[in-house]
Amino acid sequence: MTLRLIFPLILALTVLHGERSHAFGPGYTRINAVAESAETAYTNPAGMTRFDEKTTSAGVTFIQSFKEFDVDESRSTVDGGDPGDSDPLLVPSYYHIRPINEKWRFGFAANVAAGFGADNGSSWAGRYYSNEFSLAFISLTPSVAYPVNDKLSLGLSIPVTISNSVTTSLINNPGQNDGELEVESTEVSPSLNISSLYEFSQNTRIAFIYRAETDYDTDPDVEIKRYSLPANVIDNIEDAIDSLEYNSNLPQSVSFGLFHELDSGWQITLDAVWIDFSEFGITEISIVGQDVVAPDSNFNDIYALSVGAQMPVKGDTTWRF
């Protein structure tokens, strides 16, 4: 079987409502050092010291993936065609900042920190490897911030993340309808984020954020359906799966941000991040014949850089690039 990725694209439309609420800039710029909206309670809690009044922002992001996989059926050892199309998603978010006193600030964020998945359908050629899967990290994040002096502010947040993973693959029953293997896991884990914001002046500031790794070790719920092997063989397979270590995690990351506003009103931002993605882990479990297969994941670290500009046009209208 040959899979060829033709055209991947994520289209995201964000609608926000709230006092001083702003969506992230194009390409997810303006994240770390801008600190101009309630979203900073999540992206950089140290920036909350710039707020002297209660600020709230709520939003919904619409995500649609446009992709195409071609299966070369002349080379495939399994019958079936291409995987199904992705369904659209609506992802909600909520951010809040509240002054405690003249110095301390409290924040709270509720959002989907990360996630991905696909429903490939039950008739495509790779159904015995992956039929449907989803992995979502839902984060509830309280945070506090304190100004060390007129220039330096520090922030601390403790995200409590709910990890939910569901994986299904079909099982080949020669001469009969396919069986199904379903593995589901849910875990709640706390983590730690440390952030800083240094303001050289009202128009220039930088930010550093460290997000610690969050580990999820749990016993998955395993169910085998419509499998034609003898009951004692199925019991042995379920025992083998139960003995596997099922781990998923959000890897640690370090982010940097720069914000500078020119005398002309133009704003320049730079955001950079290193994600220790080589430590990302999720185990895929499948059945080949009478054997349980759980290969280790193999990922590389991620380095990302985005540069943005905001240009004032007229009144409250701006352009962002």
Read out DSSP for 260-284? Answer: EE-TTS-EEEEEEEEE-GGG-----
Quote the CA–CA distance of 155 and 146 in Å, as a whole number.
6
Which pLDDT tens digits describe the chain residue by residue (321 residues)?
Answer: 333 333 334 444 445 455 554 556 666 788 899 998 899 999 999 999 999 999 998 888 777 766 667 777 677 667 666 676 667 778 888 999 999 999 999 999 999 877 777 777 777 777 777 778 788 888 999 999 999 999 999 999 999 988 888 888 888 777 778 888 888 888 888 999 999 999 999 999 999 999 998 876 666 777 788 777 777 777 777 776 666 656 667 789 999 999 999 999 999 999 999 999 887 765 555 555 556 666 566 778 899 999 999 998 888 788 989
CA–CA gap between residue 123 and residue 115 (Å, rounded): 25
pTM of the model: 0.75
Supply 226's token pair.
């419509």
Q: Dump strand ranges (E) for 75-202.
A: 89-99, 105-119, 132-147, 152-157, 160-171, 179-190, 193-201
Please give the Cα distance from 194 to 90 (Å, whole number). 29
Number of Cβ atoms within 10 Å of the Cβ of 237? 20
Q: Which two tokens mark 3?
A: 């899979």
Beta bridge partners of 1: none
Q: CA-CA distance, 224 to 206, in Å (whole number)?
A: 53
Q: Do strands 152-157 and 193-201 pair parallel, antiparallel, or not at all (unpaired)?
A: antiparallel
Under 8 Å between Cβ of 111 and 42? yes
Three-point CA angle 62, 63, 67, nearest 5°: 155
